[in-house]
């Protein structure tokens, strides 16, 4: 059985797209082949690592990638997780389903260490909830 290919996109590929991709790998298992990229990659935010590692996710190999690395690949779904990326999302071969999920950028939150960490945790919870609905639908439609 072929895997469902999903690409998560955001502006910096430092938080939201990485969190979404990582959680989908965990929730979707072997049914999905998942990637993340950014329009203007900034590097992986340390809070992204802090919020995912307690879930048993190894972040040592994760890196921030430019969307151009995936330009010639085809996907079943391209999920933009921020408003600016949805507006400038490139076209991919194979006419993937394009989805726009607008999440507040936790990397933009200012405040104490605890406040920043809570923002990343909130984003991860919201994404996990959204993905819990997405996974069974994606499995049925492809």
Any idea which residues carry the catalytic annotation? 10, 82, 89
Which class for 38: exposed (0-12), middle (13-18), buried (19 or more C-beta within 10 A)? Answer: buried
**What whole-number distance in Å separates Cα of residue 12 and Cα of residue 109?**
15
Residue in the structure block whose two tokens are 């600016």: 84
β-strand partners of 98: 78
């Amino acid at each position: 059985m072929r895997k469902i290919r999903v690409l998560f996109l955001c502006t910096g590929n430092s938080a939201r797209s990485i969190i979404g991709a990582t959680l989908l790998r965990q929730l979707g298992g072997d049914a999905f082949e998942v990637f993340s990229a950014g329009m203007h990659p900034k590097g992986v935010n340390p809070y992204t690592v802090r919020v995912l590692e307690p879930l048993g996710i190894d972040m040592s190999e994760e890196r921030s990638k430019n969307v151009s690395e995936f330009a010639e690949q085809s996907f079943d779904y391209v999920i933009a997780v921020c408003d600016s990326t949805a507006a400038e999302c490139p076209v991919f071969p194979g006419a993937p389903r394009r989805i726009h999920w607008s999440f507040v950028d936790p990397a933009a939150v200012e405040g104490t260490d605890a406040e920043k960490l809570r923002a990343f945790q909130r984003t991860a919870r919201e994404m996990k909830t959204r993905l819990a609905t997405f996974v069974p639908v994606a499995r049925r439609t492809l």
